[in-house]
Amino acid sequence: MSGLDVAVRILDPRLPGWGFPRWGSALAAGLDLHACLDETLELAPQAPPVLIPAGFALAIRDPGWCAMVYPRSGLGHREGLVLGNTVGVIDADYEGPLMISAWNRNPPGSVPLRIAPGERIAQAVFTRVGRPSLRVVEAFPDAQAAGRGAGGFGSTGRG
């Protein structure tokens, strides 16, 4: 139990019939998000992303939490359906309609992806947010004490 109480406002009356709100299994992290479309949508490979309504709005209202929108792993891996913004962040103070930025990552010449009304196309994961106090400094004291310093990509080796 997280202790987080989130109000959900249904904007599309078809959602309850599609099973919203629900998680795909008892231990699933992501809340299923449905494509609230009036007709099947075809996404051409590499075409610009389109915004698909999720059919509801949230009121998180706790600054220690946010929701993150991720693609469904099977659709991304097998079908090429990913989010145009890779991950969507729903801040605690946003209470407008949720939209899913859908993009077909398949190479040009591939078959367009078809998204049907009501299809589960993304998932929302609620997570805690850390908001540290930021302190601006000219240099980091004893930078070598951390061990890595400014070493970036590949600096710790492979594997």
Residues 122-148: tens digit of each pLDDT: 999 999 999 999 999 998 877 566 666
Residue pLDDT, tens place only, 5-58: 999 999 999 999 999 999 989 999 999 999 999 999 999 999 999 999 999 999
Q: Is 24 left (phi over 0), alpha (psi -120 to 50) or beta?
A: alpha
Mean pLDDT score, 60-64: 96
Given pLDDT bands bounded at 50, 70 and 90, which one contains residue 74? confident
Question: If we measure between CA atoms, which residue out of 74, 155, 139, 80 comes closest to residue 110?
Answer: 80
CA–CA dist 93, 133 (Å, integer) = 20
pLDDT of residue 23: 95
- Bridge partners for 104 per DSSP: 81
Domain parsing of the chain, residue ranges? 7-128
Fold of 7-128: Deoxyuridine 5'-Triphosphate Nucleotidohydrolase; Chain A (2.70.40)
pLDDT of residue 43: 96
CA–CA dist 41, 35 (Å, integer) = 10
- Bridge partners for 53 per DSSP: 99
Given pLDDT bands bounded at 50, 70 and 90, which one contains residue 1? very low
Q: How far is CA 117 from CA 3, 11, 56, 125, in A?
A: 33, 15, 15, 22
Q: What is the DSSP letter of 23?
A: B
Mean pLDDT score, 58-70: 96
Question: If we measure between CA atoms, which residue out of 5, 37, 39 comes closest to residue 126?
Answer: 5
Q: Are 115 and 43 in contact (CB under 8 A)?
A: yes
pLDDT of residue 141: 79
Mean pLDDT score, 103-111: 94
pLDDT of residue 76: 86
